[in-house]
Amino acid sequence: MPVMQPAEPGSARARRLSDRARPAPATALARGPASASEVTPALRQRGRFQALVALARPRQWVKNALVIGAPGAAGALGYDDVPARVLVTCVAFCLLSAGIYAVNDVRDRHEDRCHPRKWRRPVAAGDVAPGEAVAHGLSWIVCGLVLALAVAPGVALVGLGYIALTVSYSWLWRHVPLVDLIALAGGFVLRAVAGGVAAPVGLSRWFVLVVTCAAIFVAAGKRLAEVTRPRAPGRPARRVLRSYTQEGLRRVLALAGTGALFAYCVWAFELPDIDGTPWRPLTVIPFAVCLFRYGTLVQAGVGEAPEEILTADRTIALAGAAWLLLFIMSVNAAG
């Protein structure tokens, strides 16, 4: 699978995405403060509301769209109260993830101040005090669990599993090579499982495998971007990054991308054609385009902020829109 072909170095779009994903090394590495004593009032440029919004990282909530995946794939979104249950579950996972981001930002604030991008996070930049961030984070987590429990006890159990996995990742798994990629993928799978429990619908093993492989694909791209990111003298990479090589991560990307495409093809061809039109199999084309394009951008040095690629790249946006249209046609035809 030629996911691993690098983008042309002169590609204007690749340069724009690369600049958006990580600042120019010469300036960025010098801008982030290196210690708590260097967090001056000049850095505190956000108002209270803006700082709290940034603390919740709403840009990363796009990951929680996976909650819609299972009921959408089963064509259950048009029945009874399923849309409301799935929507509440999605909001619950947005709150859970926001709370975990806030707590993790407190834990990582010293490390973030040495990062060319993450030093702008509210806690690292001094916009939100650590104690206040923890208080808000815990309140968001509690609200998320309450919403999940209101949908179904099973959804709350999945939410607890998500919290346990993400917290253990922050303290343990992120330091273990390969295991950190699996743990990151597990968070995506649990989102999909939550949607299935909320509907409720059964999860195809191939659907779960697609989500798992695609998540590992994205996680490996993130690690590759971190490994290749320039660093200031005297600021070594995190321990887990020193355990990875670019060649090894590219192999993981190739295997995960191939696995995701194969599993998706099997899943897409599981259902028979409707009225002679292979709507579901046709979705393989835009899905493959997204994989190839993402892999190309990752090879160009972009990937440390996956949510920015998904929202900023025109090719991925168009392919995603085509996939959604074909998928809706397949659901409508089956109904």
| Nearby residues of 24 by Cβ (< 8 Å), 6 or more positions away | none
d(CA 207, CA 203): 7
Question: 22 pLDDT exceeds 90?
Answer: no
Report residue 19's pLDDT band, with 50, 70 and 90 as the boundaries: very low
Residue 159: per-residue pLDDT: 96
Higher pLDDT, 26 or 178: 178
d(CA 63, CA 90): 10
84 Rama sector, left if φ>0, alpha if ψ -120 to 50, beta otherwise: alpha
The residue-averaged pLDDT of 37-49 equals 57
For the CA atoms of 76, 78, 80, 81, what is the dihedral angle to 10 degrees?
Answer: 80
Written as six digits, the tokens of 69 are 């995946």
d(CA 76, CA 85): 11
Residue 17: per-residue pLDDT: 52
Written as six digits, the tokens of 300 are 């160009």
- Asked if residues 253 and 3 have their Cβ atoms less than 8 Å apart, the reply is yes
> DSSP 3-state assignment of 200?
coil
d(CA 303, CA 117): 13
- Asked if residues 19 and 225 have their Cβ atoms less than 8 Å apart, the reply is no
What is the DSSP code (8-state) at residue 127? S
Question: 131 pLDDT exceeds 90?
Answer: yes
Residue 6: per-residue pLDDT: 44
Residue 34: per-residue pLDDT: 46
Mutual angle of helices 82-107 and 130-151, in 10-degree steps: 160
97-111, 233-247, 282-296: lowest mean pLDDT where?
233-247
d(CA 69, CA 258): 20
Residue 265: per-residue pLDDT: 94
Residue 242: per-residue pLDDT: 81
d(CA 293, CA 5): 10
- Asked if residues 210 and 264 have their Cβ atoms less than 8 Å apart, the reply is yes
Enumerate the β-bridge partners of residue 277.
274
| Nearby residues of 259 by Cβ (< 8 Å), 6 or more positions away | 209, 213
Residue 5, class by beta-carbon neighbours within 10 Å (0-12 exposed, 13-18 middle, 19+ buried)?
exposed
Nearest one of 279, 210, 182 to 69, comparing CA atoms: 210
Report residue 307's pLDDT band, with 50, 70 and 90 as the boundaries: confident
Q: Each residue of 240-287: pLDDT tens digit?
A: 788 888 899 999 999 999 999 999 999 888 766 555 678 889 999 999
> Residue 9 corresponds to which amino acid?
P
> What is the CB neighbour count within 10 angstroms for residue 332?
12
> DSSP 3-state assignment of 325?
helix
CATH superfamily of 2-22+45-334: UbiA prenyltransferase (1.10.357.140)
The residue-averaged pLDDT of 117-136 equals 91
Q: Each residue of 134-182: pLDDT tens digit?
A: 999 999 999 999 999 999 999 999 999 999 999 999 888 888 999 999 9
